[in-house]
């Protein structure tokens, strides 16, 4: 079993992140839980900036689950093409929204197991929606930033997102699960980047073991 970080170090990391990024939030633009779900499906292997460009027109034309379920697949493909993997994403969006209409009256269920049964929805997407739209801490969102920085901080030695999430859930207080991801994603974009860690400007440098840097 991998050695876990000291509780005192974990708490210090959380305090420093909270101080540095007090208002961190999801970078995806949305007005409803359905729109956040669709935007998160689109965000796979795509930047949030590109997703926001795509969804501006997508949600203008098809703002609700019912609208997206009825939308012609060709129309959805055209609208989401620049987000990459557009055929699969369009198919998943239509299938997901059709299921929402048929099973949940067009609403997003506030339940992890129900969400991951929807087309195109995995645990990460479900955690994003439940944590961001509903404030429900069902897990820790592990994207590339959270994966990289959690390893550098010594909170995990794993590379598999499911195993990383398990390590983080064991060490972080449940009340911190949602905001930890938001704050670490901001930190990854601004300071602790993949190619250059930016340690000289990092507020966490005194508590970070810089594993792999």
CATH of the domain at 12: 1.10.1670.10
Residue 156 lies in a domain: yes
User: Are 40 and 78 within one domain?
Assistant: yes
| Domain identity same for 11 and 48 | no
45 and 75 share one domain: yes
In a domain? residue 62: yes
Within a domain: 206: no
Catalytic residue among 143, 163, 203, 205: 143
User: For residue 4, what pLDDT is reported?
Assistant: 74
In a domain, 155, yes or no: yes
3-class DSSP state of 50: helix
- Is the domain of 163 the same as that of 120? no
- Structural domain range at position 59: 33-134
CB 126 within 8 Å of CB 112? yes
CATH code of 130's domain: 1.10.340.30
Burial zone of 32 (CB within 10 Å; 0-12 exposed, 13-18 middle, 19+ buried):
middle
Per-residue pLDDT of the chain (213 residues; tens, 9 = 90+): 456 788 899 999 999 999 999 999 999 999 999 999 999 999 999 999 999 999 999 999 999 999 999 999 999 999 999 999 999 999 999 999 999 999 999 999 999 999 999 999 999 999 999 999 999 999 999 999 999 999 999 999 999 999 999 999 999 999 999 999 999 999 999 999 999 999 999 999 999 999 999
pLDDT score for 208:
96
Q: Tell me the Cα Rg of the chain.
A: 18
For the stretch 190-198, contacts whose Cβ atoms lie closer than 8 Å and that sit 24 or more positions apart, written own/partner, are: 192/145, 192/148, 192/149, 192/152, 194/144, 194/148, 197/152
Please indicate, yes or no, whether residues 84 and 157 belong to a single structural domain of this protein: no
pLDDT of residue 1: 42
Domain ends where: 106, 134, 162?
A: 134
Instruction: Specify the pLDDT at position 42.
Output: 98
DSSP H helix total and E strand total for the chain: 11, 0
Structure confidence at residue 127 (pLDDT): 97
Whether residue 75 is found in the same domain as residue 130: yes
pLDDT at 3: 61
**pTM score of the predicted model:** 0.93
Q: Are residues 130 and 146 in the same domain?
A: no
Domain count, the chain: 2
Task: Identify whether residues 157 and 108 lie together within a single domain.
Answer: no
Residue 115 lies in a domain: yes
pLDDT for 136: 97
DSSP characters for 146-207? HHHHHHHTTS----SHHHHHHHHHHHS-GGGHHHHHHHHHHHHHHTS-SS---GGG-TTTTT
Residues 37 and 118 in one domain: yes
CA–CA distance, 154 with 85 (Å, rounded to integer): 34
Catalytic residue check, 124 = yes
Query: What CA–CA distance (Å, rounded) separates 35 from 31?
Result: 6
In degrees, rounded to 5, the angle at the alpha carbon of residue 66 between the alpha carbons of residues 139 and 142 is 20
Same structural domain, 99 and 48: yes
Regarding whether 163 and 124 lie in a shared domain, the answer is no
Among 113, 141, 47, 28, which residue's Cα sits nearest to residue 149? 141
Residue 208 lies in a domain: no
159 in the same domain as 128: no
Catalytic option among 48, 89, 94, 124: 124
Residue with tokens 């792999």: 212
Annotated active-site residue 143? The verdict is yes
């Amino acid at each position: 079993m991998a050695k876990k970080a000291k509780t005192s170090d974990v708490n210090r990391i959380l305090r420093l992140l909270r101080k540095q990024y007090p208002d961190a939030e999801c970078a995806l633009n949305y007005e409803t839980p359905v729109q956040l779900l669709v935007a998160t499906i689109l965000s796979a292997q795509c930047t949030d900036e590109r997703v926001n460009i795509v969804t501006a027109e997508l949600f203008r034309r098809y703002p609700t689950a019912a609208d997206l379920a009825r939308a012609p697949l060709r129309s959805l493909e055209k609208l989401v093409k620049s987000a990459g993997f557009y055929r699969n994403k369009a198919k998943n969006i239509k299938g997901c929204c059709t299921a929402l209409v048929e099973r949940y009256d067009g609403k997003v269920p506030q339940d992890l197991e129900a969400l991951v049964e929807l087309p195109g929805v995995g645990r990460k997407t479900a955690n994003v929606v439940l944590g961001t739209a509903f404030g429900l801490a069902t897990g820790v969102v592990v994207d590339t930033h959270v994966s990289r920085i959690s390893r550098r901080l010594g909170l995990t030695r794993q590379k598999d997102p499911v195993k990383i999430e398990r390590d983080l859930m064991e060490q972080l207080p449940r009340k911190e699960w949602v905001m930890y991801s938001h704050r670490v994603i901001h930190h990854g974009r601004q300071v602790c980047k993949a190619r250059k860690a930016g340690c000289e400007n990092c507020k966490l440098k005194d508590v970070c073991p810089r594993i792999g840097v």
